[in-house]
Structure 1
Amino acid sequence: MEPSCKEKLLNRLGRKPPGTTIVLGDILLDEYTACTRDYSANEHCVVLRKGPSLFFPGNALNVSLNIAALDGNAAILGALGTDTEADKLRSLAGDRIDSGGLIGETGRQTTLKTRLSDGNGRLLRVDREDNTPLSASVAGLLLKHADSLPAVNCAVLSDLGKGVLPDSLIAGYIRRAADKGIPVLVDPAGENIRRYAHASVLFPNLAEFNKLTSCSCANPAEAARYARGKLAEWEIGALVLKAAEAGSYLITAEEIRHVPAYCKEPACEVGAGDSFLAAFAVGIAHGLPLEESFMLSNASAAVSVSKGYTSTVSTRELTAFIGQLKQRDDRRP
């Protein structure tokens, strides 16, 4: 990250960007449960004795809360069940974001991901998912709520590719925003990249990229070169390829930029993509160009993976991290 870029980011952080960032996507509850491990000789199986649990909002709701933690105004759009997990998510969100677009759908179960761990690390993840597609009426309500929000500065879509978000909802959301000149950022999934036509920026990892494009690129650099020549055909403005320990790539029609990973020994990578996407959206909301929003998102992801659970990254934490990078560079001869 260039010194001038660090200075600019530090000057912007702490200011409240104008307008509201809307986030549409799959919503889930992350549960982390501490266990003690035993063995049943009678049943010939491992026994996990559950201890206390910690709960965190996941996916699109975590993106929204990360935006709020960076002093942005965020509005969440998505469907929940009408169960205790939905109540827990609403409680965790509190009043930090506009949650008027959280719609409880009768008969739907809120997605719950339970991670069981002992003192030596994570042992098992148990998922409870309801992948029933949203009804046409709920999809219509979500688009209507998105249209009602004033002064939207950026539209975010976080799609887990579970089939919950119908193609018509995704296309309508992207098209409505694009027609208004609102930047659209998409964390994609699935097997058809054209599903996200007219998006401003896509944010896949290498496995997601290969699946979306029916390619078999062996590494991120190869995928970046391939993507650069295809952006116009896909009708996508730019692509950010997330490559974990290899950093990430910003691909536009003009160039490919690579940023190495800032954090070499992550504690937990769950939710880091949410923090990455949220920081990029906050950069766009501040009017920063793609390159500087990209730098901001990489710094945010580095802070996120240093934590033990699904987390948000605050302005204070991000400012401190970028400040440390600046001090390190200033000490170099």
Structure 2
Amino acid sequence: MPAAPLPPDETGRLAALRSYAVLDTACEAAFDDIVRLAARLTRRPIALVSLIDAERIWAKARHGAELTEAPRNLAFCAHAILDPGQPLVIEDARVDPRFADNPLVHADPGLRSYTGIPLVNAEGFALGTLCVLDHAPRSTSEEELEILSGLARSVSTALELRRAMRRMHDLAVTDGLTGLPNRSALMTALDATLAVRCPFTLLFIDLDGFKGVNDRLGHAAGDAVLRAVADVLRAATCETDSLARLGGDEFCVLLGETAGAAQRAERIRLALAEGMARGGWPVTASIGSVGFDSMPASAEAALSAADAMMYAAKAGGKDQVRSALYEQAG
């Protein structure tokens, strides 16, 4: 059984598919309603919104089928996406050399006919198909193709709306200058950490000398400093850490532990000093580090405690780390 060849720009197609963040997500009424309607209007027992991943097909919505995914090399849809502008109609898979020995055809579930409409996005990539299948040979009328094409456009519209909403959310929680999460994103991460009641450490970072860069070199240089600080923080932290720019020249790092946090804060301070020196900027960092083995009352309380330690570092001469363990009042 020959597997379908890959589309010409498979790397770009997969990147486009992942931009929707839709794979392995829960059922959604917008897609479920479409497959039910597709099955009813074409009188087919099975209908799917099928997305083509690197090694599998995954059904975002399904009617009349239990499986949510299957190997890509067995999938009719992997052939359908090769010509994004045309439907793929298979009247009888048993007499089609591409599918005659496919186990989905000659064994359970015994599929015989298939009609798939490629789901083509705005960039021209076929992400998958809206398809209908039957256990018996079936032809597909022009009217049915028109119905399925209209429903496929509805699927594509729903996917675009989903991607637009995701991008709006990303913009709402991302600092536009540095690309780091913003204060809102940090507070959400703090709330989630408090909910599971696991020990954590919060580092509050304030830059020393930043105002002088803005005053002497201009705001473009100040922006370059902030972007460089973000780059240093990304390089000096782990994937499990949460970074944020709070605003101005203030940053935070949320660590999922308390052991060794003061040493990590010191390494971050040194990395920032080295990064700023490489850029020729007279900027350092005062860092307040607070470990939370006991939970504060709120995310704001945690941030205030770390902020207070940062001010202690400022008062102590700047370019240093001040650390403490959190103690609940009373």
TM-score normalised by length of structure 1: 0.22
Could you say which structure has the higher strand fraction?
1
Greater RCO (Cα-Cα under 8 Å, separation 6 or more) = 1
Structure of larger gyration radius: 2
TM-score normalised by length of structure 2: 0.22
Could you say which structure has the higher helix fraction?
2
